[in-house]
Amino acid sequence: MAEQDFTFSENPRCLLFKDARSALKLDELGAEIATIAIPAAMALTADPIASLIDTAFIGQIGPVELAAVGVAIALFNQISRIAIFPLVSVTTSFVAEEDAIRRAGRLDFEEDDLSCKHSEKKMLIPQKGMGEKMPSLGSQKSLEVDEVAQGKKQIASAPSALIIGGILGILQAVFLITAARPLLIFMGVKYGSEMSTPAEHYLKLRSLGAPAVLLSLAMQGVFRGLKDTKTPLYATVSGDIANIILDPIFIFLLKMGVRGAATAHVISQYLIALILFWRLQAQVDLLSPSLEYLQLGRFIKNGFQLLTRVIAVTFCVTLAASLAARLGSIEMAAFQVCLQVWLASSLMADGLAVAGQAILASAFARKDYNRAAATAARVLQLGIVLGLCLAVMLGFGLHFGARIFTQDADVLHLIGVGIPFVAATQPINSLAFVFDGVNFGASDFAYSAYSMVIVAIASITALFFLSYAYGFVGIWIALTFYMSLRAFAGFWRIGTATGPWEFIRS
């Protein structure tokens, strides 16, 4: 479709409703989104589902252990997100952009268009505000010759992501193991309380898997950028099946309790990392020729912007878990179950976000703005449909499924109180996640970071006030407010046609 065919100049907000009747149509764009999104969604929900199974097994030990592990999991996951989210998001966008230009370079190369003077004027990844030049299309063509010789793709972001992921994983493991006790105290688990010992044991053991987690997610970012979400799915499912098999063996047969659950999880994470590395090294050259080629500075610059964002996000969710823990073990156990279901279901929308990010990054790299607009509209519309379906499913299903996690009457009562919030927020959550993917696909990392800081400030204030005034219910009201602000911030950028979306007005 030609660029001049674009028709949103009068009202950018119409983008959300563009061709809405075709939202579920399996045309060329719909098929590409489905091919990427469905395996990505399955892979993203596999780990939370495994955590839910962990929670179900641990819940059979007792409510104290369930609450303790709930605090440890919340702490581990939120600290992991500080490193994981920027790494994966930046990797996906950069790999998708590099691969799009690499393919364009191959087409030119096949046509014997080897004009260096012309090609060197083209940046590999043209982004506003990036401030750093990438290898030219001409140098990219020389890499095509190497690819033919080696049989592997030359993607600079791939080895860069693995190096950074490995370093961050080791640092995270050391930090969590050495600071486990003060971190748990910050989360509301006071030293000497009934939750203190099992929470500390679980956190320290699970932290040994941090390097595998970071490396796995870095490699998943590479595969997503290459629009291959099936390989991460196979690896994740394999690891999670191993986790499910090992859980009862370590927890009950070997009588290791919560330590057994942590051990099983760590083994599964290293299995996932090994599978992904084995598949990735067969496709991509991971032994880069020089530090200049690695583009580590570019990774760090954009990753730092997303780090600011994820710290804000992490603080909101971690604070909510901390406030729930301070209410008592019953409240924390109920909050843990509701939170795990909330995140597991909401992350299904991340599959759409991954598809939108990968396709948009390629479209922006080629300056195909009609493709970018059509992709953004389609994934946002699908996000609304998905959110409504999840709301109905959870609204009815969780009432009957709560007993899978615990038999404690008090915990079940509070889970029932949280169900309306978990279900009703699904459309909001889906839009918020998909907007994230859309803005990341446009490499709009700065806006994503700064807008989230503003959202976090408002949400943290609401969490303190509402939890103090209304307890368990107040925490969920505040989380609903938080996700609504996230969705609004994502919509604002496109709705005002600013930043990378200025082309909507042109």
Would you write out the chain's pLDDT as a tens digit for each of its 506 residues? Answer: 444 444 544 455 566 667 767 777 778 888 898 899 888 888 776 766 677 777 778 888 888 888 888 888 878 877 887 777 788 888 888 888 888 887 766 544 444 443 443 333 333 334 443 434 444 444 444 444 454 445 678 888 888 889 888 999 999 999 999 999 999 988 888 888 888 899 999 999 999 999 999 999 899 999 999 989 999 999 999 998 999 899 999 999 998 988 999 999 999 999 999 999 999 998 988 875 555 566 667 777 777 788 888 888 878 888 998 899 888 888 888 898 888 788 777 777 888 898 999 999 988 888 888 888 889 989 999 999 999 999 999 888 887 777 877 778 888 889 889 989 999 999 999 999 999 999 999 989 889 989 999 999 999 999 999 999 999 999 999 999 999 999 999 888 888 888 898 888 76
**In Å, how far are 44, 302, 441 from 224, measured between CA atoms?**
12, 18, 12
Distance set, CA 477 to CA 81, 320, 398 (Å): 23, 11, 19
* Contacts with 255 (C-beta within 8 Å, 6 or more apart), sequence order: none
| Interior/surface letters 58-94, b for 16+ CB within 10 angstroms, e for the rest | bbebbbbbbbbbbbbbbbbbbbbbbbbbbbbbbbbbb
pLDDT at 350: 85
Do residues 503 and 6 make contact, with C-beta atoms less than 8 angstroms apart? yes
What is residue 129's predicted lDDT score, i.e. its pLDDT?
39
Which pLDDT score is estimated for 150?
53
CA torsion sign for 188, 193, 198, 200 is positive
Contact in structure between 224 and 92 (CB atoms under 8 Å) = yes
Query: Helix (H, G, I), strand (E, B), or coil: what is residue 8?
Result: coil
Q: Using CA atoms, how far apart are residues 220 and 320, in angstroms rounded to an integer?
A: 29
* Structure confidence at residue 144 (pLDDT): 46
Within 208-347, where are the H helices?
210-225, 230-248, 258-281, 291-294, 296-327, 329-346
**Among the listed residues 314, 340, 336, the one whose alpha carbon sits nearest the alpha carbon of residue 325:** 336
The rounded distance, in Å, linking the Cα atoms of 92 and 44 is 14
Is residue 232 exposed (0-12), middle (13-18) or buried (19+ Cβ within 10 Å)?
Answer: buried
Question: Measured in whole angstroms, how far is the alpha carbon of residue 370 from the centre of its chain?
Answer: 26
Q: What is the pTM of this model?
A: 0.74
**CB–CB of 198/7 below 8 Å?**
no
- Tell me which residue of 201, 210, 217 sits closest to 71, measured CA to CA: 201
